[in-house]
């Protein structure tokens, strides 16, 4: 009697299972979350000291400093997300389920997006205290700008993290691959966040948000198409 053939798990079900697995792992260990929070807070404090507590300069640069803190923290998050899968060949086990490589990409990207998005909200009161900024346009535009910016980081970040996962200098390779690609999306996110903090008298915010959204569509579409090739042996 021949052994039963293992049927592939459906795309949406596999994505939900993998996302739940990653979130449960984060909730139970909290090691990566604690590291991200302390690293991001230390980064914002260093920026404040570097600017010599000049209120005008800090307020003008607050949007850029926030996204630099989130970008540096995201490198830690993205790198650790695939180090976990290296333990006991967990990634190979997931692929043997068999689960679609695209489901792995979506689950990893969404998990990291939620983590960095939550970090962006956690850093907001720290920004208010350190840089004396205000949500001039309200929390709604900030939530949209933050979400779109996080999506632009995580999609290519997951792809490059998987590429750098097996390299010897993976901690160096990931930012070298990721940072140049993110420059246009990061600049648009910084501009949108700066308008949320300082006001938008010329109604430019919508244009910058659409620009970031365009980058998100491109990054996520390319990641969705290319990721199965990236994790092939």
Minimum mean pLDDT range among 31-45, 61-75, 111-125, 162-176: 162-176
Q: How do residues 1-33 score in pLDDT, each as one tens digit?
A: 444 445 556 778 888 888 888 888 777 777 778
Confidence of residue 48 (pLDDT cuts 50, 70, 90): confident
What is the reported pTM?
0.88
Query: How far apart (Å, rounded) are the C-alpha atoms in residues 16 and 23?
Result: 11
Minimum mean pLDDT range among 30-34, 47-51, 87-91, 145-149: 87-91
Q: How do residues 165-205 score in pLDDT, each as one tens digit?
A: 777 767 788 888 899 999 999 999 999 999 999 888 888 99
Helix axes 205-230, 101-131, angle to 10 degrees: 140
Q: Per-residue pLDDT for 233 more than 80? A: no
Q: How do residues 117-129 score in pLDDT, each as one tens digit?
A: 999 999 999 988 8
Q: What is the mean pLDDT of the chain?
A: 84
């Amino acid at each position: 009697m021949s052994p039963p053939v293992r049927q592939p798990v459906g795309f949406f079900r596999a994505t939900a299972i993998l996302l739940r697995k990653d979130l449960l792992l984060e909730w139970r260990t909290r090691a990566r979350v604690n590291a991200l929070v302390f690293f991001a807070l230390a980064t914002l404090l260093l920026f404040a000291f570097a600017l010599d507590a000049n209120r005008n300069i800090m307020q003008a640069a607050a949007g850029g400093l926030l996204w630099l803190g989130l970008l540096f923290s995201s490198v830690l998050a993205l790198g650790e997300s695939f180090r976990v899968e290296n333990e006991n060949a967990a990634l190979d086990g997931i692929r043997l389920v068999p689960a679609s490589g695209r489901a792995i990409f979506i689950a990893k990207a969404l998990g990291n997006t939620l983590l960095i998005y939550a970090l962006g909200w956690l850093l907001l009161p720290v920004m208010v205290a350190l840089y004396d900024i205000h949500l001039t346009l309200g929390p709604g535009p900030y939530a949209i700008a933050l979400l779109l910016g996080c999506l632009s980081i995580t999609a290519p970040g997951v792809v490059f993290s998987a590429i750098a996962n097996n390299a010897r200098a993976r901690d160096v390779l990931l930012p070298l691959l990721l940072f140049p690609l993110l420059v246009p999306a990061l600049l648009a996110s910084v501009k949108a966040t700066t308008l949320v903090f300082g006001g938008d008298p010329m109604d430019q915010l919508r244009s910058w948000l659409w620009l970031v959204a365009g980058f998100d569509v491109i990054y996520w579409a390319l990641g969705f198409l290319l990721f199965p090739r990236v994790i092939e042996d």
